[in-house]
Amino acid sequence: MAAVTFQSVSKTFSTPHGPFHALSGVSFEIQEGEFFGLLGPNGAGKTTLISILAGLARASSGKVSVMGHDVHGDYAAARQLLGVVPQELVYDPFFSVRETLRLQSGYFGLRRNDAWIDELLEHLGLADKADANMRQLSGGMKRRVLVAQALVHKPPVIVLDEPTAGVDVELRQTLWQFVAQLNRQGHAVLLTTHYLEEAEALCTRLAMLKHGHVVALANTSELLSQASTSVLRFKTDDALPPALAQLARVTGRVAQLPAGSAQEIEQHLGVLRGAGVRVEDVEIRKPDLEDVFIHVMESAQDEAAQEGA
């Protein structure tokens, strides 16, 4: 049995400018014990899909189930099997951390859950904050409490919607160690993130969304193997010549250029020398998930433009 099933899921919102199709016929499954990544640019439909999964929104058409339980027709059973860490920092300012987790346990009918709560507090670095009021916590600490709340009933399916957005490196490492441990124990994990290095390191399979459509669905290793082009990476303080600027991915002083062969690498370097561009820390690396993601998104945009022509 699949842990999560999305079957031809569509969602349309009414707007003053007409209907907006947030999701269009999205279909895929997440298997029990799988670490699955859901990627896409802002507005691709990721959060809408998770909202439907969590029962916070209703699909216009299609079916979503958790461990065989329909999220609409059998909501209580589906929700019991799901732990969701939302993007937003939502908390009750009148309770301590421990009280918050005890209250969350009560929502799922759990009594005498303190042993597991203590384990969560320890694993997530919250043990010394157990009696602190939620108002007193930093943003990163509040994020840890949200993770603990999602896990307090030991759900077989864990949904992490941008869980490390804007948090410190220590939390990211602590969180991924704990979540990876839960995944090894058999919990299915659905992750959305803009940190593609996290998705590449953690997820065994990925789906990529663009404008509400699934534009890629494959094992992470398969997606990476499809990108045969190497990448020429270097640092510079100079502007790239126009011929290379349109090909480059530039982040601050770091520029990266696709290069399919040794000859193409030499051609790029020759153009840089001819333009008087001073480069340092030159390296040639294999493509990573960010390279694949950009290629898939650009290809999907080109296909959409051709269909609309």
Looking at the domain assignment, is residue 301 inside a domain?
no
In the predicted model, what is the mean pLDDT of residues 262-291?
Answer: 91
Q: Could you tell me which of 217, 166, 163 has the C-alpha nearest to residue 40?
A: 217
pLDDT-derived band at 280 (thresholds 50, 70, 90) equals: very high
| Residue 30 CB neighbours (<10 A) | 23
User: Do residues 175 and 268 both lie within one domain?
Assistant: no
Q: Please check whether residues 132 and 233 belong to one and the same domain.
A: no
Q: Name the percent of the chain lying above pLDDT 90.
A: 64
25: in domain: yes
Q: Residue 131 above 60 pLDDT?
A: yes
Claim to verify: residue 182 and residue 91 sit in the same structural domain: yes
Indicate if 85 and 200 belong to the same structural domain.
Answer: yes
What angle separates helix 97-107 from helix 139-151, to the nearest 10 degrees?
A: 30
Same domain, 182 and 81: yes
pLDDT on residue 305:
55
DSSP 281: E
Is 213 in contact with 267 (CB distance < 8 Å)? Answer: no
Predicted local distance difference test score (pLDDT) of residue 302: 60
Listing DSSP states for 28-41 in one string gives EEEETT-EEEEE--
38 and 87 housed in the same domain: yes
Report pLDDT for 309: 46
Q: Are residues 272 and 213 in the same domain?
A: no
More confident residue, 166 or 106: 106
Sheet of strand 205-210, all strands in order from the earlier edge strand to the far edge: 82-85, 157-161, 188-192, 35-39, 205-210, 213-219
Average pLDDT over residues 151-175: 86
Enclosing domain of residue 252: 229-286
282, two tokens: 């030159």
Q: Is residue 307 part of a domain?
A: no
The pLDDT tens digits for 193-235 are: 988 999 999 999 999 999 999 999 999 999 988 776 789 999 9
pLDDT of 308 over the 60 cut: no
Do 79 and 117 have their domain in common?
yes
Whether 291 maps to a domain, the answer reads no
What average pLDDT does the structure give for the chain? 90
The answer on 61 and 141 residing in a single domain is yes
pLDDT higher than 70, residue 303: no
Could you tell me the sign of the dihedral formed by the alpha carbons of 97, 101, 106, 110, in that order?
A: negative
C-beta of residue 8 within 8 angstroms of C-beta of residue 62: yes
- Over its C-alpha atoms, the chain yields an Rg (Å, rounded) of 22
pLDDT > 80? residue 300: no
Mean pLDDT of 233-246: 92
CATH number (domain holding residue 198): 3.40.50.300
Once rounded to an integer, what is the mean pLDDT over residues 180-201?
93
